[in-house]
Chain A
Amino acid sequence: MSDLPEKSLFRVVGTRPIRPDGVDKVTGKAAFGADIHLPGMVIGKILRSPHPHARIVSIDTRKARALPGVKALVTADDFPDLPDVDFEAGEGAATLRDIAHNVMARGKVLYDGHAVAAVAAISPWICDEALALIEVKYEVLPHVIEVEAAMAADAPILNENQVTQGLGAKPDTPSNIAKRTVLNRGDLEAGFAEADMIVEGRYRTQPVHQGYIEPHACAASMSADGQGEVWSSSQGQFVIRALCAKLMGAEMADIKVTPAEIGGGFGGKTTVYLEPVALALSKQCGAPVKMTMTRDEVFRATGPTSGGVIEVKLGAKKDGTLVAAQVELKYQAGAFPGSPVGAACMTALACYDIPNFLITGWDVITNTPKVAAYRAPGAPAAAFGVESAMDELAERLGIDPIVLREKNGVRDGVKASYGPTFKDIGFQETLAAAKAHPHYSAPLAPGVGRGVAAGFWFNIGGESTAAVHITEDGSAVVVSGNPDIGGSRASMAMMAAEVLGLAVEKVRPIVGDTASIGYSMLTGGSRTTFATGMAVTQAAEKVVAELKVRAARTWDVAEDNVAWRDGEAICLDPAKDNKPLSLAALAGHTGKTGGPISAEVSLNAQGAGPGFGVHICDVEVDGETGNVTVLRYTAVQDVGRAIHPAYVEGQLQGGAVQGIGWALNEEYVFGDDGRMQNSGFLDYRMPVASDLPMIDTVLVEVPNPRHPFGAKGVGEVPIVPPLAAVANAVRAATGIRMMELPISPPKMRAALDAVAQAAE
């Protein structure tokens, strides 16, 4: 299957060195977005709408501008009115106009927290005072929050120009439904007719936020000649550059973006919110402007992921063979089109080989913040429905839930539900590892339930650039264009060290700004270790080739008489008795052999292998409070080959914990007024370390033959199974199938009470 070297031959790949950025991060020296200070800098803040849906009648800024200390004030009028064309940057579907209108409302506000104006002043207090002096007249309009309410014929319409795509004939009336997507195969009716057992369910999830600990923050400076600089915490400095340039009407080369350290992104920092505003304010006042969101702003005005309704119907033979499936997914997109329902359609049944199916997805705009990408966008909620239904099916058929998944699970040669034929996948291996894990066979105490669930994500490659420079003393610097979110500096250094034959400590990885390294797509989609790692590896291979040339020149032998082994040039010419030349020795006289040694590689990486995970969860439910406690949790995943196993394990643990939060506590709560009621971490409850047991991990290694070290993306998959794994465990513990997330204590307690009352 693979020409990859045996894992045992690697010296560095697969080991667990200390991360090169670790000391600065644990000692507080690392500079995040809010840590940037520039000479003469002023502070920027945003005025946000208190209404979920309203027409902006007028904005009177005269009093605010006259306030002493105010340096600049902008509204939508200070930005170009951009066309309604797709823009290929960041994640998910979006048009330039929608991105611009999300950054600063134009004509209408579409959600509570939508930006209306911004000021820059010499202090945050004067900013607050100025914001209070801006007089905005609104014509308040009816709003709609829930997805099915927004789909109704009599729903308040957010965008009079939007008609539903994907219905065949173009409708002549506006709708909040932006698009319908359909995937189908076989004969659905005949499939269900063949089934001995049919299970059906209607599941519901609420919007949840990525919950990164670092709020959005940036500093920006724009000179009178139109050149701008941005320092920003994001998942991609090049995406920030592109969007700032477009929204400011500037050339990309005139804007330099330096990536700050990033305190979590998970997909939510793949677009702009503050950066163009800070540039516009700086352009007006001539001083650098720093902007930092509060947590309230992060919740109200940056992308959560969709809440939705997921209807699932599965049909199977008595022996468990799936014969038909029907899935309908309705996802909130927020104020502008572009929910991840398309990916949800493609992932919903991707784990299984089903001959007859129909999957329908609806992308629906609502008076809520525009959704942003969040780990495996769209897949977790779809998996909540399908994996809950699989659990129901296993229970009714009396089949072990992992055995049922093994029976129907995809393997090499099976045509995926989204079209292509699978190859080099490890789902069966992952299921086998889960079944063999001691957790799965451990005895259960009374009142404790165990659930399992599976998950899938495609993973992607894409455009990346990396450079390797050899220093005069024989160490190396690796420069890439991807912010380090999950330990990518370490994995880049390790792959370069492996190729060069250096100790990893002699390789210093750097994240370059947009003027220092060629273009890279953002850090997201589980692509960086795969795609940028491929660029690093190829750059290091070019450096090795040049080192061999330099050794040949030093020894005066033919180049093909030089080999590179363990960081040294070896002379293969039997007529010469040359001792090996170390990299340090070669680096010490590069001037004499041809000049500095470095290489840069830009590529569009293809061949990312899809990933599968299987999670096992034990819970107990407090009958008095309804609180669900996770007692034991194991995440098993095919990771290709782990470059740095500790960080791969960390990805699995982090994804699992975020999924558990989604399952048990997290949700946007909106009042009747359409405003978010819980925009802080006290009321929006995310799991903390004391809530959960240690998340056990199992790395199943089915190598990806298209990566030089066999790597597959790992960051998305682990958030897919937990929602159903937890719900299935709750079912096992209580006999109650919870169809709506989160399974918060009040909801669980109500369900327990309903069962008790029914039994009386």
Chain B
Amino acid sequence: MPRVVIASSDALELTGGVAEFDVEADTVARMIRELDGRYPGLGEEIERRMAVAINGEIHQDAWMEALPDDAEIVLIPKIGGG
């Protein structure tokens, strides 16, 4: 069961301060759906403003990306650049 960590404070208002979750999901899209079910609005927050780091690799807007069982999953603010 993958464990998800929110790294910055940005989404914590939606989770009541909870920053770590175990999820029954094997893709990014399913993880977003599951988290949104638990914390309404969190799914939209992730989709609009967050990137998903899976085992150290940052993914942006990658619904189909697989979440291995023992993966380190970190939600971080989306990244742009200049």
Contact = CB atoms under 8 A, between A and B. Distances in A.
A154 B49 CA distance: 31
Interface of B: 5, 7-10, 13, 17, 48-49, 53, 55-62, 65, 72, 74-77, 79-82
Interface residues on A, range: 35 or more
Contact of B81 (A93, A267, A421, A463): A267
Contacts of B65: 606
Contacts of A52: none
Given A88-B48, A604-B62, A182 B9 contact: yes
A420 B81 contact: no
A649 B75 CA distance: 33
With most chain A CB atoms within 10 A of its CB, the pick from B9, B60, B82 is B82
A525 B77 contact: no
A358 to B, nearest CB: 11
A373 B78 CA distance: 14
A267 B48 CA distance: 20
Given A346-B79, A604-B61, 9 more contacts: A88-B48, A92-B80, A181-B10, A183-B8, A420-B55, A423-B57, A524-B81, A606-B62, A716-B81
Instruction: State the main secondary structure of chain A at its contact with B.
Output: loop
28 contacts: A86-B49, A91-B81, A165-B13, A181-B77, A182-B8, A210-B82, A270-B82, A345-B8, A375-B81, A376-B81, A418-B7, A418-B76, A419-B76, A420-B55, A423-B56, A423-B57, A458-B79, A458-B81, A461-B60, A462-B60, A462-B61, A524-B82, A525-B79, A525-B82, A604-B61, A606-B58, A608-B58, A715-B81
A706 interface: yes
Contact of A181 (B8, B59, B60, B79): B8
Given A86-B48, A419-B7, A460-B60, A266 B82 contact: yes
B80 A166 contact: no
A457 B9 contact: no
Contacts of B17: 168
A422 interface: yes
A726 B77 CA distance: 30
B81 A418 contact: no
A460 B81 contact: yes
Contacts of B79: 343, 346, 458, 460, 525
A526 interface: yes
A325 to B, nearest CB: 16
Given A168-B13, A346-B76, A604-B62, A373 B82 contact: yes
A332 interface: no
Given A345-B8, A604-B62, A422 B56 contact: yes
Given A88-B48, A421-B55, A604-B61, A377 B80 contact: yes
A182 B13 CA distance: 12
Nearest to A421: B56
With most chain A CB atoms within 10 A of its CB, the pick from B5, B17, B76, B81 is B81
B60 A93 contact: no
B6 to A, nearest CB: 8
